[in-house]
Chains A and B, each alone.
Chain A
Amino acid sequence: MSVEENYRFQVNLSGMINILSNHLYSNPKVYLRELLQNGIDAVTARNGLQESGYTGRIVVEVAGSDNNITLTVEDNGVGLTEAEVHEFLAMIGQSSKRGEDFLAKEESFIGRFGIGLLSCFMVSDEIVMITRSAKGGPALEWRGKPDGTYSIRTLEGELSPGTKVYLRCKPGCEIYFEEASLAQWLHYYGALLPYPIILQSGQGERVINDDIPVWIQDPGLARSHRQEVLKLGERLLGEKFRDFIPLMTSEGRTGGIAYVLPQAVNLNAKKSHRVYLKHMLVSEKAENILPDWAFFVKCVVWTDELQPTASRESFYENDKLEEVREQLGESIRSELMRMAEYDPDRLQHIINLHALSMKALAVEDDKFFSIIYRWLPFETTYGNRELDELLKEHQHFYYTLSLDEYRQITHVASAQTMLVVNGGYIYDAELLSRLPLVDERITVERLLPEDVSFSFTDITPEERLQYYEAVKLADATLQPFRCRVQIRRFKPADLPALYTLSKESSDLRTLETAKEASTELLSSVLGNLGANYQATAYATIYLNLDNPVVSRIFTSGHLGMLPTAVEMLYCNALLMGHYPMNRKEIALLNQGIIRFIDWGMDVNHNGGASHE
């Protein structure tokens, strides 16, 4: 039996660093975040030791110039023992377990240390760290190189506990060591840290983070510190805001401020909230921290309970995040509902700016809908109107399901002063169909394009008799195009015909256009699929007897010209409605034009129509 031996994979560290810098981190400047994070973790751990009189601090110093720039980051945190140095700096992924990402563990402070430090190789060819553990033992010096080798030696003399990391600027990386940039980035990452970060350089010393405002602990207090809150928003998010909503989960482990965007935003706009995890910025483009409907705010959020992804630039989609997201959403929702009661003008202002966002929430949430529906704007045949205005005179609403259907009838419906709401825009049809659930006075009804004819004036029984033959002939003429002819009187009188198409007949039209253009095989497939429509898919053309031309066609008594005239009205209606015409219809149009030219010439020659 042979002896089985186990070997370890060797990882090429420079390759690994390449991967980190090119794929994991979005920009080399994150080295500073990693160093800061290590310092914070060490201070946090030392805080855990509960020594009396201890206050954490982190000092960053940049020195030298040109090709001899060095940067040091020093903390007075817990420090590392020699065993810990070997364990955490030399073994990447040490704390990995159960297939979870090894950075995803919540509790460990040192677990991430090693990999964070590696990011420094993006800007420096050597990392030197001097550390002494608060648990005792000698001070140590660790030197790491990008080829994966490192050395440790024990230092003589007494050092107070803490860690100091030295970096020497790599050629070409000078921009990552400039004092002004460092100050900006340190603020960017650590603005909310509860103890000082100090930046030293040839230009002197400055404290990066001001005192933390009280409302960070209790976002509810933000309401009474309005200007301060708006100012911080501007500084952190780079936009001037006028309104905000405090955020807080029930356990209080996640809080924040949702700033109301001062301009309307696109539905698909990237949501970029800024999130601080344990006081430290983890992401400025966290998309998943708020519900989808909340795209009208930009947030600063602080939390100590979410798990960052490996790049630490967003969060793992897990139950915790779901819970936090729901609760933050609830903060916004309940604030809006409070506004409806106590501050309706403010709410109205938000709705005016962010109607889409409000509608998105209302679709998901009947209760919210029932509180704000009055202020929601809709497109109607009376113009853009808030429901409130419409409700003064109407309790019954017609709405269309699609933009296309609305477009077909809007002109005619306006002329009849018939109120129709366009349900074609996103969320609107859903909301309109649910209106009766939130206000029992209201009834709604989906309007099909042909329904608009309800408001037309029927022709009299005498007229019906009089035009019987003509209508029958007109109907037969358009039969091959699956279109029925109806005679009515309606406004506007200058409109000769209204062509209406149900969803089914519209789908069939599209299908047949595609069938004509497609390959033999797919045409046969479409043929099978279209067979189901045939029975139902009729369009209707309403001819307007109030229109002088239509009236002449039907009263002239010359039935010989009628089919061509009706065909032309049909083609005209298609063109006006932007309906693509199929081959048969184009042929119809061509023949019709030629025939009318011909007749026109005859008239000029003979001084009168001679066709019977």
Chain B
Amino acid sequence: MSNMNFDGDFDDLMEQAFSLPDGRAKVEVLEQAIQLADAAGDIDQGYEARAELVECGVFNGYPMKALVAFSWQLGQFDKEPERFDEFSLFWSYKWILDQAPSFPDITRPQIDQLLEDMKQRFGQYGYSDRTYYFYKMVTANEMGEVETAAEYMKRIQTMERDDMSDCLACEQNRVVECAVKQGDDEAIIEAAKPIIEGGMSCGEVPHVTITKVLFPLLRLGRQKEADKLQRRGYRLVKGNRDFLLYHGEHIGYLTLTDPIKALEVFEEHITMALDHENPFHVMIFNAYAAKMFQRLAEENLSYQVKLPAEFPHREESGNVVWLGKYFKEQALVAAARFDSRNGNNYYTDFIENL
């Protein structure tokens, strides 16, 4: 505690940041370091601290901060490309592209232009087009263009990986995600096998893969396996802001198998959803929360839902019917924005059909 330092120099702050576990506190220290570097007009320090902020933000639920920091970095890079290392910057670009569709305010043409911009930059530095097509696939998938994504996926399979390719576990996870969008239960389970059973893993896999398999397993009557997997997956994501969407999916699964447990997961994470930076994650979380409240309303029980001070309608904490409607409406309003950007009806349909 005594080492709390408002006015430490840049190096102190960076050291402090490295000593903190990933999360809000670290993000704040990095922001402070950036402020200090900018106030001093030190471009190198500003760049260094932002590189950290991009990574920390992307993987800990602060994508907006990451996007802002990355934009600054790219601007500096273009002014003096010799001054900075292109590899880590380009790597960040992929993360940014992965996040971009999650913001309905970013238009389709802007997403397309970002992809073309990345392609051109990667080409200039001798990296292959595979990553471009890969993220064409990723963004198409996220925008609900299932067929287009599948075509890109086919194309990628025949191209050679290079240093800019995501790790094998991440790529395999995208195969799972495509299968999810296509609604093919058998294919989902098959694609997830190398991850779930074969031990393919990285910082985010199998965390993000497991929930994708739960629903198919349940539908195929394999609840026992699914239950076990659910516990494993929940352990991996629990409490990490980066995985808000997956908390939502756990709630979704538990709604079908153990609704009271679902409520506990909801209560534990609703605070996170209330000020989360990623509108897409919030939408999915709200959608599954809505479904859960609808399910709870079917029981002849009275509830007292624990809602945090930040929740705007705490007076409704005993009214699960109302809460169900409220969360559904929140989710649908968000879905309408995504759909209007994407030019389809994918997410509205998705929520209506949950």
Contacts and interface: CB of A to CB of B under 8 A. Distances in A.
B289 to A, nearest CB: 21
Nearest to B69: A514
A514 B4 contact: no
Interface in A367-412: 377-379, 384, 402-404, 407
B148 to A, nearest CB: 22
Interface string A25-45: 000000000000000000000
A525 B235 CA distance: 36
B166 interface: no
Interface string B73-101: 01110100000000000000000000010
B159 to A, nearest CB: 25
Contact of B28 (A404, A427, A521, A531): A404
B156 interface: no
B76 to A, nearest CB: 6
B114 interface: yes
B67 A529 contact: yes
Contacts of B107: 528
A519 B78 contact: yes
Contacts of B39: 575, 578-580
B106 interface: yes
A379 B4 CA distance: 9
B315 interface: no
A99 B198 contact: yes
Contact of B68 (A384, A511, A524): A511
B56 to A, nearest CB: 13
A521 B78 CA distance: 12
A319 B24 CA distance: 30
Contact of A522 (B19, B36, B74): B74
Nearest to A524: B110
B1 interface: yes
A517 B75 contact: yes
A529 B103 contact: yes
B35 interface: yes
Among A266, A511, A532, which residue has the most Cβ atoms of chain B within 10 A? A511
Interface string B213-253: 00000000000000000010001000000000000000000
A54 interface: no
Contacts of A378: 1
Contacts of A575: 39
B25 interface: yes
Given A384-B2, A518-B74, A403 B29 contact: yes
B113 A521 contact: yes
B350 interface: no
Interface string A472-514: 0000000000000000000000000000000000010011011
Contacts of A433: 308-309
A523 B31 contact: no
Contacts of B64: 507, 529
A425 interface: yes
A521 B197 contact: no
Contacts of B24: 426
A384 B21 contact: no
B20 interface: yes
Contacts of A610: none
Interface residues of A, number: 44
Contacts of A151: none
Contact of A514 (B72, B100, B309): B72
B6 A522 contact: no
A407 B28 CA distance: 12
A517 B1 contact: no
B259 interface: no
Contact of A529 (B21, B74, B76, B105): B105
Contacts of A518: 71-72, 74-75
A379 B64 CA distance: 29
Nearest to B77: A519
Contacts of B105: 528-529, 531-532
A242 to B, nearest CB: 21
Contact of B21 (A268, A514, A526): A268
B32 A403 contact: yes
A441 B25 CA distance: 28
Interface string A323-334: 000000000000
Contacts of A426: 20-21, 23-25
A312 interface: no
B186 interface: no
Given A268-B21, A521-B114, A322 B106 contact: no
A510 B31 contact: yes
A517 B21 contact: no
A404 B69 contact: no
Given A404-B28, A578-B35, A99 B18 contact: no
Nearest to B232: A319
B38 interface: yes
Given A268-B18, A580-B39, A514 B1 contact: no
B68 A528 contact: no
B200 to A, nearest CB: 12
Contacts of A384: 1-2
Contacts of B71: 514-515, 517-519, 522-523, 525-526
Interface in A90-106: 99
B117 interface: yes
Contacts of B75: 514, 517-519, 522
Nearest to A506: B31
A523 B110 CA distance: 11
A290 B20 CA distance: 19
B120 to A, nearest CB: 11
A438 interface: no
A77 B77 CA distance: 68
Contacts of A266: 19
A207 interface: no
A586 to B, nearest CB: 10
A513 B114 contact: no
A425 B6 contact: no
A578 B5 CA distance: 14
A379 B3 CA distance: 11
A99 B194 CA distance: 11
B74 A267 contact: no
A355 interface: yes
Contacts of A425: 1, 4, 25
Given A268-B18, A514-B69, A521-B117, A404 B31 contact: yes
A403 B28 contact: yes
A569 B207 CA distance: 51
B40 to A, nearest CB: 9
A517 B28 contact: no
Contact of B106 (A99, A407, A523, A528): A528
Given A99-B198, A267-B21, A578-B39, 4 more contacts: A99-B197, A268-B20, A513-B72, A521-B114
6 contacts: A99-B197, A319-B231, A426-B21, A433-B309, A514-B68, A528-B110
Interface of A: 99, 266-268, 319, 322, 355, 377-379, 384, 402-404, 407, 422, 424-427, 433, 507, 510-511, 513-515, 517-519, 521-526, 528-529, 531-532, 575, 578-580
In the A-B complex, the 8 residue pairs with the smallest Cβ-Cβ separation, listed nearest first, are: A580-B38, A426-B25, A518-B75, A518-B71, A522-B71, A514-B72, A517-B75, A528-B105
